[in-house]
Amino acid sequence: MTVTALLPELTARAEDIAHTRTPTCPCGATGALADRPDGTVVRHADTVAKAHAPDTDAGELARRLTVSAGLPDVFLPPLGPAPADLHGRLVTFWPYGSPVDPDDPDAAPWEAVGTLLALLHRARLPEAVPKMRGPLKAARAVAGLRAVGDHPAAAPVLRAWAALPAWARAEAPMPRPAALCHGDLHLGQLVRLPEGPWRLIDIDDLGAGTPAWDLARPAAWFACGLLPGEEWTRLLDAYRAAGGTAFGPGDDPWTVLDVPARALTVQTAARTVTKAVTEGRDLDELDRAVVDACRRMAAIPGQLTHKSTK
Amino acid sequence: MQCPKCRAPMHTYNRNGIQIEQCSGCRGIFLDYGELESLTRLEAQWSQSAPPPVPPAAPQAYPAAPQPAWGAPHGGHHYGHHRNKGFGRMLFSS
Ligand SMILES: [Zn+2]
């Protein structure tokens, strides 16, 4: 079924569910929150319906949904225990939560990011849980960059990618011990219900993996100069205080963060360059910051930086 | 990280891929193993120009967080007018 046909149907489903939850629905707030190949998200009043990517594995999504429903202190609780089938697309339903305010960087919930990740990483790892998909996403971003052809910024990004260990390129199993990981952490993955605390959303990449991966995107932002050190420190302190397991209490976090932070910098740079090429525009200053970081990685293969995990 | 000499916080700088810690109290500079060799090598490469200047202390309340050697040079107002734009990038999958 095409996306144009999917949207109205998805909206109708969200509307149905919203009306079972709120008998006095004003029917005001309806709209698409996101409409991308990897998922279409529609909101009606306090209900959100997400149509997952067409290639989503039904069994894996069901397991991920069950795991997230079992961690109400970490994840926004799903409405309903199993994904629905909407003409071949898997759909899940969620309460609507307010996102992080993009116009107020000072109000960003860095402590909540640290605490929620620590709670997630400390959670019991269920036996029947799929693999965390972080490295796979990085590999897909690099494949996308290769597909758009030559660009002066592509070479340093691909060089930095080639220097990564196989596990970070999704070509070997991730180092053990594994923990329950989100797999695609960024600030858009935090929402809160009215008067409620912050919770994580988006379970598509959830699974067993290397917990440092979840900290690695903020680490990459910090390393690339996007995230001030003070805010990065607040996140790390909250993660430590909540007993996060990605690194030991007295350890330098960069011993485990170096490899995944390089991988996420490469992923970001790959997407950035791919987008610029596709849109036929030059890289802006922030785009160049991530490409420059890839360039510096090639010059620092591990002698001057911290030892990477095998 | 604290200065081993006067216990004041250390600031981490990145100069040409070499991590330098400078004490905010006694201004002492500490290099990790191998970094002196790297600096000497760089100096030899650019012998015609002046040696790398000592970085000024960054105006931050927090001691600088450790960062990888491939990281960007962090400073007090490096983000400046790009803060909101950079923040926007952190709200989306990349
Ligand atoms: Zn309604």
Angstrom distance (rounded) from CA A175 to CA A177: 6
- Is the bond into B73 cis (omega within 30 degrees of 0)? no
A9, A86 Cβ separation under 8 angstroms: yes
Q: What are phi and psi of A306, to 5 degrees?
A: -75, 155
| A212-224 vs A110-122: helix crossing angle, rounded to 10 | 150
A52, A67 Cβ separation under 8 angstroms: no
Please indicate whether, in this complex, the C-beta atoms of A293 and B60 are within 8 angstroms of each other.
Answer: no
Please indicate whether, in this complex, the C-beta atoms of A300 and B17 are within 8 angstroms of each other.
Answer: yes
Statement: residue A302 has pLDDT above 60: no
Mean pLDDT in chain A?
90
Instruction: Give the number of beta-carbon pairs within 8 Å between A and B.
Output: 119
Q: Assess: ipTM above 0.85.
A: no
Within an 8 Å CB–CB cutoff, is residue B38 touching chain A? yes
**pLDDT, tens digit (0-9, with 9 covering 90-100), for A33-46:** 777 777 889 988 88
CA distance B40 to chain A (A): 14
Instruction: Give CA angle at A305 (A111, A218), nearest 5°.
Output: 25
What is the A190 CA–ligand 1 centroid distance (Å)? 24
* Residues in Cβ contact with A119 at an 8 Å cutoff, skipping those fewer than 6 apart: A71, A73, A74, A242
Q: Which residues of B touch A258 (CB under 8 A)?
A: 68
Within an 8 Å CB–CB cutoff, is residue B71 touching chain A? yes
**pLDDT, tens digit (0-9, with 9 covering 90-100), for A202-215:** 999 999 999 999 99
**pLDDT, tens digit (0-9, with 9 covering 90-100), for A90-130:** 999 999 999 999 999 999 999 999 999 999 999 999 988 99
- Span A73-81, mean pLDDT? 95
Choice between A301 and A120, residue whose per-residue pLDDT is larger: A120
| Nearest partner of A288 among A151, A178, A164, judged by Cα | A151
- Span A62-83, mean pLDDT? 96
Q: What are phi and psi of B28, to 5 degrees?
A: -65, 145
Q: What is the DSSP string of A159-195?
A: HHHHTS-GGGGTSSPPPSSPEEE-SS--GGGEEE-TT
Task: Give first-to-last CA distance, chain A, whole Å.
Answer: 44
Nearest chain B alpha carbon to A217 = B90
Q: Which residues of A touch B84 (CB under 8 A)?
A: 102-103, 105
Statement: residue A307 has pLDDT above 60: no
pLDDT bracket for residue A149 (50, 70, 90): confident
Residue A205, token pair as written in the block: 């990449």
**pLDDT, tens digit (0-9, with 9 covering 90-100), for B37-94:** 555 565 555 554 544 455 555 444 455 688 898 998 764 345 555 677 888 889 887 7
Query: Largest alpha-carbon pair distance within chain A?
Result: 64
Please indicate whether, in this complex, the C-beta atoms of B70 and A299 are within 8 angstroms of each other.
Answer: yes
Three-class secondary structure of residue A248 per DSSP? coil
Angstrom distance (rounded) from CA A229 to CA A215: 14
Q: Where are the beta strands (DSSP E) in A47-119?
A: 47-52, 79-86, 89-95, 98-99
What is the A38 CA–ligand 1 centroid distance (Å)? 26
- Span B18-44, mean pLDDT? 59
pLDDT bracket for residue B16 (50, 70, 90): low
Angstrom distance (rounded) from CA A265 to CA A226: 11
What is the A296 CA–ligand 1 centroid distance (Å)? 52
pLDDT score at A208: 97
* Residues in Cβ contact with B80 at an 8 Å cutoff, skipping those fewer than 6 apart: none
| Nearest partner of A204 among A182, A186, A187, A188, judged by Cα | A182
Angstrom distance (rounded) from CA A246 to CA A213: 9
Q: Which residues of B touch A229 (CB under 8 A)?
A: 60, 62, 64-65, 67, 74
Statement: residue B18 has pLDDT above 80: no
Within an 8 Å CB–CB cutoff, is residue A17 touching chain B? no
Residues 138-197 of A with CB under 8 A from B: 141, 184, 186-188
Q: What is the pTM of this model?
A: 0.79
Within an 8 Å CB–CB cutoff, is residue B39 touching chain A? no
| Nearest partner of A232 among B62, B48, B37, judged by Cα | B62
